Structure 1
């Protein structure tokens, strides 16, 4: 491997460093999450995706028809669709859908065995159903995280062959001070619902009444899990139409056919936005061991990508990285990273509880502490 994890106990915790020269464009690492789940509202709104890895379970044409509200629309170049429905399967007991038998088995062996909600148990009063409803009422779209990431993480411990090892894996994530964890838990739930943290803890405990995970279901332990998810969870998205479009772009088409397909794609997006809005992808959240070790920079030398249209994460070099140089990504979105130094640092402090001292922030240290126009307009809207 071209990298190693280094631990700094008294400063920034874990970091990822290059052990050899990494040229720009190089795939540095790839990994599957230790736990993943789809957003609750996303699943309710019929965004069909594998319950274990988020791979789409509908064809690009089915996806477009649903998002456009046009059941008769025919998508050209059907061979460019990546969805293979022949391998799709489902849990015999609860009906959860998976993209393959391997994903079904993997889910069952990791967490689904103790979380499987059998059909006969669906009566709107099962602990899983109650938590699902409570969480949806606390987090309307657009969702940014899910309480069920914690549920699956704890179920993973319960089902593990080596409980102590599974617990240590959770504890290996960098933790904040008690006060910082309280701030992150508050951010996770928001002003309106922070008072319901005890209710959520009790509801999770009702789903998994197991002494093996009791340390995580104390008030302090549960707050720590919320903080862990709040700082380390990675958003994941997939789209059969987006994958189809990328494959169409690779076709050797004439200029006339290229223009025609571009017009079709533009029309599709216009119709999807008009019917569905901005939320066109299957979306969820995942927790990764190696990715969680990567620190932030406002001038990153690497970026995270999802190249297989599922939850498998890839880290790619944005520029040449030298031996013994830290590998850094941006925790901010594409628009946020272009804001003023003051605005970037404000966002990072609010969401991750640290004051950014990256090379870009140090270079811009003489800038006036002026809030970006984007932040000002957002504050005015609120």
Structure 2
């Protein structure tokens, strides 16, 4: 079975999906390519020159002079120049380091040297140190840290340069009394290096800068909105605000979804496109071949885009890696069987969230794989959304969002893992019960329903209890939608029963246009209705208030405190007790809460 690096696993889904394809390829060549194994042995022998040939036991110690000699050798080595070369160098060194770790204590030094070489080319060394601390065997990690401490406290004997990884800054001449280098090894900035010496602040400060920088670029300025933070009853909460004055009726922005799911009773009927939701004209449908979901598209372009983003990984049969990169490692019969079992599960449950999550995971794999191996997912670019084209990944976008704790059946986790494993052995490693639960909670809380016109009237009744029904954010009501989507920017819009804006899908696709209901001043919060907030002909104001508040409590687990609800509650007296005072049960991930203080 293909081995997955524990270092990559702890680094997170983004790191895994970006590097795992190469890890699979690396492992395949290691096991099947004699010349590649010979090269690995050659590299290992170079490292072994620095290892004491004493008997391997748990008490093997490294002489400081031996460690210093090993460090000097690493310092003298040329570093790869291009980003592609550095990425490949990083992968090979981490892979070799993990292999050497399994050979016993006598190989601890060569293993540490591999990890140290990888550290020298990694874009964020401090982040990698934190990962090493959690994944690398303690004796090996200690040697890595000894190498780092030695590197910053002793000048290189071969060069007066302070930085062997390509830093061009000149270093002050060391004092004859205490020759101490002023800069850290490799490309680590002095500020980052200071954080290494304070383990208690490593994680928080490490993520803090990236979090702050994230909101400097997201949302894109062209969308006329920005994310702000406001006080809420249970703490601080992210809100979406206008970046300029907006007039009633203006299109504030347009946004393409990251992932979508057509309502399952419509999937495969040929009425709507699986990819863009466009209504399909008679005799123009494009059918996917060998697709267990029986997807139908409005055009070949939509079919190609869907295939490259997620559909081939989840429901197709084509290899994920081109033959010139690596032979197909999958069993076609097993792959089809795993996909069919998942489709049967989706149809049995009739819910969109499991498929939204699966498409999100598959899109991560496809997006990061294409970055490493252009053309691997097909000729059509994976991204159809400018939000994905920046420096931040899909996981960067979703990890900051609020979510609800949901119950995800173990069967679902097993089925999704099976689909990914049979598509490309190894990528199932980042599917776990905890991760599936969090992602499902985020999709359930943030998904927006797509309605055309006033919505459909033919959605079948699921027969579920009202509190068990799946709900999406839509002012028309979930029963009116044809499908749902996850929108990275619109996910920040909070609910109001008197909303300042509304989502529109007037072009007949899943592209969301946010329309201003009234004039909105710069800096004012933008809100939308998650449920139908209108008063129906057979309802009194009290009945309408009760209905919408019950819907909100069931779908998003909070008691609405918008100005309209408070005003109507004050007028209606006992109406305030229609929905119990319910604390907002939505959460943010612990690391985000720690960094952003919410």
Question: Kindly tell me: are residues 97 and 158 of structure 1, through their superposed partners in 2, closer, same or farther at Cα, counting changes over 3 Å?
Answer: same
- Equivalent residues of 1:237, 1:310 under 8 A apart: no
Question: Kindly tell me: are residues 112 and 135 of structure 1, through their superposed partners in 2, closer, same or farther at Cα, counting changes over 3 Å?
Answer: closer
Secondary structure of the residue aligned to 1:208 is: helix
- Equivalent residues of 1:51, 1:98 under 8 A apart: yes
Shift of 1:8: 5.2
Counterparts of 2:261 and 2:305 in 1: how far apart (Å)? 14
Per the alignment, residue 68 of structure 1 pairs with none
Per the alignment, residue 251 of structure 2 pairs with 27
Counterparts of 1:282 and 1:24 in 2: how far apart (Å)? 25
- Equivalent residues of 1:303, 1:315 under 8 A apart: yes
Counterparts of 1:281 and 1:346 in 2: how far apart (Å)? 18
Counterparts of 2:460 and 2:577 in 1: how far apart (Å)? 26
Per the alignment, residue 178 of structure 1 pairs with none
Shift of 1:297: 0.4
Counterparts of 1:368 and 1:57 in 2: how far apart (Å)? 50
Question: Kindly tell me: are residues 169 and 277 of structure 1, through their superposed partners in 2, closer, same or farther at Cα, counting changes over 3 Å?
Answer: closer
* Residue 565 of structure 2 is aligned to residue 353 of structure 1: no
Shift of 1:40: 2.1
Secondary structure of the residue aligned to 2:558 is: coil
Secondary structure of the residue aligned to 1:150 is: helix
Counterparts of 2:335 and 2:290 in 1: how far apart (Å)? 17
- Pairing 1:140-289 to 2, within 5 Å after superposition: 145-161=352-368, 165-175=393-403, 181-182=404-405, 185-186=406-407, 197-209=409-421, 211=426, 214-215=429-430, 217-237=431-451, 283-289=482-488
Per the alignment, residue 368 of structure 1 pairs with 573
- Equivalent residues of 2:502, 2:528 under 8 A apart: yes
Shift of 1:170: 2.7
Shift of 1:281: 8.1
Question: Kindly tell me: are residues 214 and 122 of structure 1, through their superposed partners in 2, closer, same or farther at Cα, counting changes over 3 Å?
Answer: closer
Q: Aligned-pair RMSD on alpha carbons?
A: 3.7
Question: Kindly tell me: are residues 219 and 124 of structure 1, through their superposed partners in 2, closer, same or farther at Cα, counting changes over 3 Å?
Answer: closer
- Pairing 1:55-70 to 2, within 5 Å after superposition: 55-59=278-282
Shift of 1:313: 0.8
- Equivalent residues of 1:40, 1:136 under 8 A apart: yes
* Residue 333 of structure 2 is aligned to residue 333 of structure 1: no
- Equivalent residues of 2:353, 2:444 under 8 A apart: no
Rg larger for:
2
- Equivalent residues of 2:533, 2:544 under 8 A apart: no
Counterparts of 2:334 and 2:271 in 1: how far apart (Å)? 23
Counterparts of 2:415 and 2:358 in 1: how far apart (Å)? 10
Per the alignment, residue 72 of structure 1 pairs with none
Counterparts of 2:460 and 2:437 in 1: how far apart (Å)? 34
Counterparts of 2:310 and 2:517 in 1: how far apart (Å)? 35
- Pairing 1:39-54 to 2, within 5 Å after superposition: 39-44=263-268, 46-54=269-277
Shift of 1:326: 0.6
Q: Deviations over 1:63-91 (max 9, x none)?
A: xxxxxxxxxxxxxxxxxxxxxx3xx5444
* TM-score computed with the length of structure 1 as normaliser: 0.66
Secondary structure of the residue aligned to 1:13 is: strand
- Equivalent residues of 2:243, 2:522 under 8 A apart: yes
- Equivalent residues of 1:50, 1:56 under 8 A apart: yes
* Residue 226 of structure 2 is aligned to residue 4 of structure 1: yes
- Equivalent residues of 2:317, 2:336 under 8 A apart: no
Counterparts of 1:281 and 1:333 in 2: how far apart (Å)? 10
Question: Kindly tell me: are residues 136 and 101 of structure 1, through their superposed partners in 2, closer, same or farther at Cα, counting changes over 3 Å?
Answer: closer
Secondary structure of the residue aligned to 2:502 is: strand
Secondary structure of the residue aligned to 2:238 is: strand
Whose relative contact order is higher, 1 or 2, with alpha carbons under 8 Å and at least 6 apart?
A: 1
Counterparts of 1:292 and 1:336 in 2: how far apart (Å)? 26
Counterparts of 1:149 and 1:124 in 2: how far apart (Å)? 20
Question: Kindly tell me: are residues 342 and 237 of structure 1, through their superposed partners in 2, closer, same or farther at Cα, counting changes over 3 Å?
Answer: closer
Per the alignment, residue 13 of structure 1 pairs with 237
Q: Which runs of 5+ in 1 are unaligned?
A: 63-84, 176-180, 187-193, 244-268, 374-382
* Stretch deviating more after TM superposition (345-354 or 220-229): 345-354
Q: Which runs of 5+ in 2 are unaligned?
A: 1-221, 319-330, 373-391, 462-477, 579-598
Shift of 1:202: 1.0
